Structure 1
């Protein structure tokens, strides 16, 4: 990462009453840039009004990757829960250890280190979706979504400073996700090696990069 911060063009999507939705198109990679209508991050879709639902349906969305726990999905059901495009890939389970008293980086690190198979499943859920846009969401669209999106962007060759800038758009501290990416690099040798060691195949990761960048 360079010492200078760069400004990126944010592509917010108006999905009433969601408040943290954006298309990640235009982020530069080592081979080009992320293409439009390929990867969208969002907060909880149960907030969608009829106008919001219409805005979603106006796009060619092939999969909704919902990272919330089963309890959250039951309490705040997604309007797409009965839709074949919806896939629940919970990163936290109600039976997991309570980490609510830890700082964000430590929470993220535990998720990366102790529940790596879940994280890899979330990333591969983007890779094996049918052609079209993939929406990744959790509750606020910041933490769980932020981790999965950061790893996906890093795998695709987006510079770390721009990954951090996107993360910070969700009213978060850029330093948190930079620390996490540094941890992945130092402990696992980088995002690609981390995902391969967590159950993702080389073919799936290559497909993911291709669908986002070509």
Structure 2
């Protein structure tokens, strides 16, 4: 089972090691981590992370998200920022919204405000239905695995032992990071059901963050239904299953997917497995 790293300023920092593969091997612990945003790390948190011997931090967030909450410096770690979905965050929120609200997003003063203020305005409008949020995520999860430069870079880094241990993260550590983590585990031969179980752990780790966000939004939204916050910051098996299904529909097999999308030949895939499996 995944190991949650207890930190004060990050809720969803986890070790991906320990999972069994279909050929009875095991993902090594202490080499692969997934996380939510790191901007809130305390000095004590940073010491804990430095103690994990992190060599590479891969940040999947948009330029806007990074500008709002830049990563702290972690001694000994190189920082690689490459958006997993260009424009994801406030800039792409219009994809979730009825046309009449697009203007609100486009004209919001992002630099002066905050994600919470913008979200509060959207929720208060009463036109931010959970069904639309869920469909947005399904569509996003179907698109993320293909021609994605962030994941291409992630696998390039992963192929070199000098870059390990590695942590990948986004804002909540659930969608862009969730797909990135799933792709690594798929390459290593971890069964889908185990990957889904790891993915769903986010619903437990982010509960304090969700409660905090609801408290922040309550004064901004009046009588609006805050259950949509659960949909935005939680995870649903259907989302990641959409990733699995789209890959198999497109390529027929995961092996072929990794060969075409990441130029990982059978020998290259075997070399990565050799580094990361016991």
Q: In which range does the TM-score fall when normalised by the shorter chain? A: 0.7 to 0.9
**Aligned-pair distance for 1:186?**
1.9
Q: If each structure's helix is expressed as a fraction of its own residues, which one has the higher value?
A: 2
Aligned position for 2:184: 152
Superposed, 1:64-213 pairs within 5 Å as 64-80=57-73, 85-94=78-87, 99-101=95-97, 102-113=135-146, 115-128=147-160, 130=162, 132-171=164-203, 172-202=235-265, 204-213=268-277
Any conservation in 2 of the 1:63–1:129 contact (CA below 8 Å)? no
Distance 1:17 1:195, change over 3 A: same
Residues 154-163 or 91-100, more deviating: 91-100
Q: Report how many aligned residue pairs link the two structures.
A: 205
After TM superposition, the runs of 4+ consecutive aligned structure 1 residues lying more than 4 A away are 81-84, 95-98
Aligned position for 1:13: 5
Distance 1:82 1:198, change over 3 A: farther
TM (norm. structure 2) is 0.67
* Gap regions ≥5 residues in structure 1: 1-8
Larger CA Rg, structure 1 vs 2? 2
**Are residues 1:57 and 2:120 paired?**
no
Distance 1:103 1:212, change over 3 A: same
Residues 185-194 or 159-168, more deviating: 185-194
* Gap regions ≥5 residues in structure 2: 98-134, 204-234
> 1:161-194: per-residue Cα shift (whole Å, max 9, x none)?
0000000111211232123112211211233322
* Partner-residue secondary structure (3-state), 1:180: helix
**Aligned-pair distance for 1:197?**
1.5
Aligned position for 1:5: none
Q: Distance in 2 between matches of 1:190 and 1:118?
A: 21
